[in-house]
Copies of this chain bind each other. A is one copy, B any other.
Amino acid sequence: MGRPLAINGDAAIALAWKQVNPDVVAAYPITPQTIMVEAFSDYVADGQVDTEYICAESEHSAMSICIGASAAGARVATATASAGLALMWEMLYIAASMRTPIVMAIANRTLSGPINIHCDHSDTMGARDSGWVQLYGENVQEAYDNTIMAFRIAENMKVRLPVMTCIDGFIITHALERLETLDDQVVEDFIGLYQATRPLLDIGNPTTYGPIALPDYFYEIKYQQAVAMGSVAAVTKEVMADYAKVSGRRYKLVEGYRTEDADHVVVAMGSTSGTLRHVVDRMRERGSKVGSVKIRLFRPFPSEELAAILKGKKGVAVMDRALSPGTGGALYSDVLQSIHDIPDAPKVTNYIYGLGGRDVMPEQLEGVFEEVMAGNGERINFMGVRI
C-alpha cells in the first residue's frame, strides 16, 4: 500500500483512473470536474497510461463516444457535472439500455439557472431514472475507492450497467484530504481484464446494436434492465467485501452511525453525511439518542437495508440536496418507499438544503435533529435559506 497522499477529490479520481488504465476516456471540461480531466491529461501526455483520451466537442458527444467505444469492446471512463450531465441526458438512458458498462465520475454541481458552479445534487438526482447505478462518496478516500469498485460492479456479467460515482463539487473535488492509495498491481488485479460481450469489433460475429423495438418487444428489453438493477445490491456487497480484503476498508450500501439505540435519525448522502456524524457525536455527548444514516448506493435504492435501520425509530428526517419544485426530495421519496411496507414505520420529514453550494453548518443540522425530536417540522422543510 502506498504512502498516504494529500490530494483533492478530483485528483484522487484521476489517480484511480490511472491505475485502472481504461482503454478510452472521452470527456468535456466543466467545473468542478476539470481537475480530473486535467490531471488525467498529464498522465496521457507523459505516457503513463495506454488510454485513448478524447476531448469531445460537447458532453452529448462525449457520452456518445463512450457508448460507441464501450459497444466496440473497450473499457471506458468519463466524468462530468451539472450542465454537462444535462446535455448528455438523452444518451444516459441509451448507455444504460444498451448495457454499456461505462464508469462516470460526477462532481455534483447544481443545474442552472441561475448558473452557479457549486454543489448540490440536482444534476444526478435528475438522472435517477436513467438506469445508471449511482454511488455517492463522502470524502476524497471514498471518491477513490468508489471509482475502483465501480468498474467491478459495472462490468459484472449480471449487471452490465453504467455506473456514476458522485462526489460533492468543490467540497470534495477541490478539498485536500488524506488519501490511502492501493498499489497499481493491486488495482489491476482487483478489477481484472475487461471481457466485452459481443463487441462490435468482433468482425467474425457481427452484432447489430441499437435497432428499433416496437411495442411487441420494447417492454421485454426494458425489463431486462430492471432485472439487472435487481442484482446490483448483491454484486456490490460482494465487490465491497473483496475490496475490504485488499484495502482494509469495509463499506456498506447504507451505513448507519450510532443508529442501533437511536430514537431519532437523519439520513443524508455525500459530504453532509460526515458533518452529520460530527453532529451526532456532539449531541450524543449531550445525551441525545440520535444517529445518522449515509446512503452510499442510491441507484438501485437499497430499500431493505435502509428499512432494517429505520424500523421502530421515533422520528426520521431526510436531507435532500436538490429541489423537485412541486413535491418532496428524491431521497425522501425513496425512503418513504422503503418503509411503506414495514409494520413499525417512523414518521419521516424532509429537509431541502445546501442548494447552489449554500454551506451546511453543524448548528443547522443540530436544529434538524431538534425539530425531529420535538416532532415538529413540516413534511417538507427548507434549511438555510433566507425566506
Residues 106-132 of A, flagged 1 when their CB comes within 8 A of B and 0 if not, give: 000011111111100010011011110
CB distance from A108 to the nearest CB of B (A): 14
CB distance from A24 to the nearest CB of B (A): 20
A187 is an interface residue with CB less than 8 A from chain B: no
CB distance from A110 to the nearest CB of B (A): 7
Residues 323-363 of A, flagged 1 when their CB comes within 8 A of B and 0 if not, give: 11111101011101100110000011000100111110000
A129 and B89 within 8 A (CB) = no
A47 is an interface residue with CB less than 8 A from chain B: no
B87 and A90 within 8 A (CB) = yes
A375 is an interface residue with CB less than 8 A from chain B: no
- Specify how many copies of this chain sit in the oligomer: 2
When distances are taken between beta carbons in the complex, the residues of chain B under 8 Å from A217 are 114
User: Which of chain A's residues 213-237 have a Cβ closer than 8 Å to chain B?
Assistant: 213-215, 217-223, 225-226, 228-229, 232
A222 and B336 within 8 A (CB) = no
Residues 66-97 of A, flagged 1 when their CB comes within 8 A of B and 0 if not, give: 00000000000000000100110110011011
A274 is an interface residue with CB less than 8 A from chain B: no
* Partner-B contacts on A (CB < 8 A): 60, 83, 86-87, 89-90, 93-94, 96-98, 110-118, 122, 125-126, 128-131, 133, 210-215, 217-223, 225-226, 228-229, 232, 299-301, 303, 322-328, 330, 332-334, 336-337, 340-341, 347-348, 352, 355-359, 379, 382, 384-387
Interface CB pairs A-B, < 8 A, 6? A60-B87, A97-B112, A116-B214, A116-B218, A222-B355, A225-B323
